[in-house]
Amino acid sequence: MTVADEAWAVETRGLTKRFGGNLAVDGVELLVPRGCAFGYLGPNGAGKTTLIRMLLGLTAADSGTMSLLGHAVPKHRDVALARVGAIVDEPRFHGHLTGRQNLQVLAASREPAARERIEPSLARVGILHRADDRVSKYSMGMRQRLGVAACLIGDPQLLILDEPMNGLDPAGMQDMREMIRSFVAEGRTVMLSSHLLDEVERTCDAVAIVDRGKVIRQGPISALLSGAAVMLQVECSDPDRARTVLASSALDISVEVTPDGLQITLPAETPHDVIAEVARVLVTEGISLHRLQPMQASLESWFLQVTSRLGENA
Partner 1 sequence: MTTASVAARTDRRGSAVPTLSMVTTRFMELRRRRGLMVALSMVTVGLPTIFLAVRLLLHAVAPRTYGPAGGYDIYTGLTVGVLYTLGFLVAATLGATAGSVDLNEGMFRHLVVTGRSRLALYFARIPAGLAIIMPLVAIGFSIVCAVCAVAAPSQLSINGMKVPVGLSRTQLETFAVRHADEVLCDFPSFNVNVAVPCGGGGPSGPVIITRSGPTGPATAAQVNAAAIKVADQNYTDYKRQFVVPPISLMVKTGLWLELEAAIGFLVALGLGSLIGQRTVAMVMMIVLEIILTPIVLRTQIPHLINLQRAVIGIATAHLEPSRLPLAFGGGGHDYRVTESTTTAVIVVLAWVIGWTFLGAWRMRTRDA
Interaction with partner 1 in 139-198: which residues (CB under 8 A)? Answer: 150, 154, 157
Nearest to partner 1 of 5, 312 (CB atom): 5
Quick note: the x/- pattern for partner 1 over 59-78, rule CB under 8 A, is: xx--------x-x-----xx
Nearest to partner 1 of 71, 243 (CB atom): 71
Nearest to partner 1 of 112, 271 (CB atom): 112
DSSP 8-state class, residue 137: G
Residue 250 CA from chain centroid, whole number = 39
Tallying the residues shown for the chain, one arrives at: 314
Position 219 contacts partner 1 (CB under 8 A) = no
Q: Minimum Å distance from CB 56 to partner 1?
A: 5
Stretch that binds partner 1, among 2-10, 119-127, 186-194, 225-233 (CB under 8 A): 2-10
CA distances from 308 to 23, 77, 105, 229 (A): 16, 34, 43, 17
> What is the C-alpha separation between 164 and 89, in angstroms, rounded?
9
Interaction with partner 1 in 226-255: which residues (CB under 8 A)? Answer: none
Q: Minimum Å distance from CB 1 to partner 1?
A: 11
Stretch that binds partner 1, among 36-44, 51-59, 205-213, 279-287 (CB under 8 A): 51-59
Beta bridge partners, 81, equal: none
Beta bridge partners, 231, equal: 265, 295
Q: Minimum Å distance from CB 233 to partner 1?
A: 46
> What is the C-alpha separation between 197 and 280, in angstroms, rounded?
36
CA distances from 97 to 121, 124, 138, 155, 220 (A): 17, 20, 11, 23, 41
Position 7 contacts partner 1 (CB under 8 A) = no
Q: Minimum Å distance from CB 257 to partner 1?
A: 51
- Residue 138's SS3 state is coil
Nearest to partner 1 of 89, 256 (CB atom): 89
> What is the C-alpha separation between 280 and 271, in angstroms, rounded?
15
Provide the sign of the torsion angle of the four alpha carbons 93, 96, 98, 104, taken in this order.
negative
> Which residues of this protein are in contact with partner 1, per CB under 8 A?
2-5, 53, 56-60, 69, 71, 77-86, 88-97, 101-102, 104-113, 115, 150, 154, 157
